[in-house]
Chain A
């Protein structure tokens, strides 16, 4: 009886751990509205870093840290933004039956169009330039 209880407990714990580890990978774990709100909150800080040339907009649709002067908090901010972007790209890729890479590269073109003057931008060949 004791052994059975132990087995059930272990199985339940493993199931819970499994659920929580997969949740962040799915877009529906976080609502689209929540992602948008997070992006909106990060925008002012990211804009500052872009204006200083510390980060830039890569050709894959993700932010890239360009200077070593970036603080750990700056890096964390970029990672959080990129993680949210990836969730959106993944969801769109799944919906349209294409790849995350294609969605990211299409988004990069849109970002480059709306980027503020002075933002570092990576072209399709991989070269960086100031807009």
Chain B
């Protein structure tokens, strides 16, 4: 009787450990999915930054002349 009780408690321990482990694994899976969802946002930001840089490279001096003109006109007024 005592041996049966001992075996039952051991089995219960094993089952709870397995259940807890399964719970842990579930949490791990969720944390692995998150970066995949965020990635496209990073790519979009990256493209915008690159495009902004390319536009500044081309239009930079033209824009400077434009804003310089504005500053000059404002000073005259």
Q: Which A residues lie at the B interface, using CB under 8 A?
A: 32, 36, 39-40, 43, 47, 88, 92, 95-98, 102-103, 106-107, 110, 114, 116
Contact = CB atoms under 8 A, between A and B. Distances in A.
B52 interface: yes
Given A43-B62, A92-B55, A96-B50, 12 more contacts: A32-B58, A40-B62, A43-B65, A88-B59, A98-B51, A103-B51, A103-B55, A106-B48, A107-B59, A110-B56, A116-B66, A116-B73
Q: Is the interface of A mostly helix, strand, loop or mixed?
A: helix
Q: Which of A40, A97, A106 has the most CB of B within 10 A?
A: A106
Nearest to A32: B58
Interface residues of B, number: 19
B18 interface: no
Contact of B66 (A43, A92, A96): A43
Q: Which 7 A-B pairs have the closest CB atoms?
A: A92-B54, A106-B51, A96-B50, A116-B70, A114-B67, A114-B63, A107-B55
B47 interface: yes
B58 A102 contact: no
Contacts of B59: 88, 107, 110
